[in-house]
Amino acid sequence: VGISNGGMGDCYKAQGELSDAEDAYKINLEISTENGDIQGVCRMNSMLGEICLNKASLANEPDDELFKQASNYYEESLKAAFSQNNGVNIAFALAGITKVCVASKNDTSFNYVLEELGRFIDSGLCKSIPDYAKTLLKESLQTIKTTSPELEEKANGYIKYLDEHKPKAQ
């Protein structure tokens, strides 16, 4: 039932029916949480974060409450991803938090993203993520550099690290 609600949420989202998508994702999140499905918890929190961001972008004026909700969802996704050592989900959650920072014009939260990226790198999980996830992280770091030039040196260091550490061939 949880997975089908996630699929329904995806369909609603694709049709631009954000409130219906949100409802379906919340049902999936509740079921995933009850069943201990950490992968589902990660995905649904990220999807709900994206829904909040999309709703905020459609609002006539900036909606701090939607930005706060989006940030909370992405942070919950990040916690769950770290708990299961899932590098791809960590990358997606960090990219989502970066999007919230940009959309809400909350540049101070970029430091949080960089701290969590540092923790991700220190964990060693970053070394094994596929190129598409590394690309997502590097795009987020480029955004951070552009928006907050004072963080350029640190962001460049992480970009260099991501470029130098390729996953091992299987």
Q: What is the pLDDT of residues 102-141, one digit of tens each?
A: 999 888 889 999 999 999 999 999 988 999 999 999 999 9
Q: Is residue 133 part of a domain?
A: yes
Q: Is residue 170 part of a domain?
A: no
Q: Is the pLDDT of residue 45 over 80?
A: yes
CATH number of the domain enclosing 43: 1.25.40.10
Q: How does residue 88 score in pLDDT terms, banded at 50, 70 and 90?
A: very high
Answer for the pair 40, 31: CB distance below 8 angstroms, yes or no: yes
Q: Is the pLDDT of residue 2 over 80?
A: no
Q: What's the pLDDT tens digit per position in 56-80?
A: 989 888 789 999 999 999 999 999 9
pTM listed for this prediction: 0.91
CA distances from 20 to 12, 76, 101 (A): 6, 21, 25
The domain tally of the chain equals 1
Q: Is residue 55 part of a domain?
A: yes
**Domain span holding position 147:** 2-164
Which alpha helices (H) appear in the chain, and where do they start and end?
Answer: 2-14, 18-35, 38-58, 64-83, 87-104, 110-123, 131-147, 152-164
Q: Is residue 169 part of a domain?
A: no
